[in-house]
Amino acid sequence: MTVRSKPSWSEVKARLADFDRAGLIGLVQDLYAASKDNQAFLHARFGLGDDVLKPYKTTIDRWLWPDVFKNQDTSVAKAKKAIADYKKAIGQPEGLAELMVFFCERAAGFSNDVGLQDEGYFDALVRMFAQALKAIDALPVEYRPLLLGRLDAVRRLGHNLGYGVGDDMDDLLAEHRFNGESR
């Protein structure tokens, strides 16, 4: 028995070359039916539906604001994966910034509401806050005020959380404002 290594993209690509149009459409249909993640990816890629961000926000919400009465747990990694998945699907800068701000809102809100005291969770929140500021800075000026206002509300809430979260966000926002003024 021969041990084969893990198949690579080039092997898959070579097999795809054998498909005709109908075969490729059938394959994509099967992938679409196989998982909600695939559906969200294709909807985002093709700009289908009223809100392509909704499935990504739903995932972020589930993992950053779990139902504590159902003993659901948090997972920063799974919430961040939703943002990475959106980036692979379409990666529109406005959508990425929106998802990052939403991540911060949900993480800070949940922590404040249930009194979560988790240093790793807070570190992830502050890192995402910094990434959101950078993402917002790259957007056209007309998109910035609303998103920055939402992040400022997160920053204010961060002062209720402890572990220096609010102070770290103060520093990041002050640094961001300085960078924005120096351009």
Does the predicted model carry a pTM greater than 0.85?
no
Residue 182 to residues 114, 151, 154, 166, 176: CA-CA distances in angstroms? 40, 21, 25, 24, 10
Q: What is the largest CA-CA distance in the chain?
A: 66
pLDDT recorded at residue 179 = 57
The CATH number of 50-181 is 1.25.40
pLDDT recorded at residue 180 = 52
End-to-end CA distance of the chain: 64
pLDDT recorded at residue 183 = 35
Q: 134: number of CA atoms within 13 Å, CB side?
A: 6
pLDDT recorded at residue 13 = 81
CA–CA distance, 148 with 9 (Å, rounded to integer): 40
Give domain limits for the chain: 50-181
